[in-house]
Every structure is written in C-alpha cells, then in structure tokens.
Amino acid sequence: MTTQTLTNEFLEKIKAKLEERKTAVEEQLESFAKSDPHQQGNYNSEFPQFGDKEDENASEVAVFESNLSLEETLEQSLEMINRSLKKIADGNYGKCEKCGQVIEPERLEIMPTATKCAPGACKMNHA
C-alpha cells in the first residue's frame, strides 16, 4: 500500500475547483428553481407560465417535468460538492470510502468529488 498524502497546495487547488463548480451548479438551479429557505441545498422547480392555450399548457407540463429531473441531478452534484468541501474543512478529503487509502491525486484533479479509488486500484476491489 502506498501512503500518499495530499499537500495543502493541492487541497487549495481542489477547493477552488469545487467552489467554482458549486457556483455554476447553483446558478443553473436558480435559473428555473427557487432555493428552499428551510432546507439548505434544496431547490424547488417553478412551474413555467407560457400562456393559457392548450398547447401552451402542454409545453408548461413538459418543461416542468424536464426541469424536475434536471433539478434532481443538479441537487445531487451540489450535495457531492458540499460533501467534498466539508471533507477538506475537516481534513479528511481524498480518502477512499471503501478501503481508506488516499485516492490518486490525478483522479481527484479530474473528479474532485470522487469518494472511491479508481476501479481496479482499490484494495476492496469494488467496481
């Protein structure tokens, strides 16, 4: 087992990357949803208003439904980003949740929210 440690410089770089992503995700969510004042990180899609005609109503429902699934995807990435930021703050960022070893920095650079080693690199041999 290789005992790697992540340097502060590396962690700062990752933190900046995560915060940039967080802003982008929040902006995207705010373009069609309202943030829930009672639950941090939760957003509620707003029902669009195109007009009162039947085809307009049908489009409203279609757009609303696609927004709901986008909302879910974005909320999940926001949650992952926040979890990673919390780990950096707590000083336990970059450890594999399966085997506990430090995830390769190259992997973290590409996927800063990774919580597990690359498949094959993990001692627990997860997929």
* 54 or 106: CB nearest Zn ion: 106
Count each helix (H run) and each strand (E run) in the chain, helices first: 3, 2
Task: Name the token pair of 61.
Answer: 């429902």
Neighbours of 36 (CB within 10 A): 11
The residue within the footprint of Zn ion, chosen from 11, 70, 99, 102 (CB under 5 A), is: 99
User: Is 98 near Zn ion (CB under 5 A)?
Assistant: yes
Contact window for Zn ion (CB under 5 A) among 11-19, 62-70, 78-86, 118-126:
118-126
The dihedrals phi and psi of 66, each to the nearest 5 degrees, come to -75, -30
Binding residues for Zn ion, per CB under 5 A? 96, 98-99, 117, 122
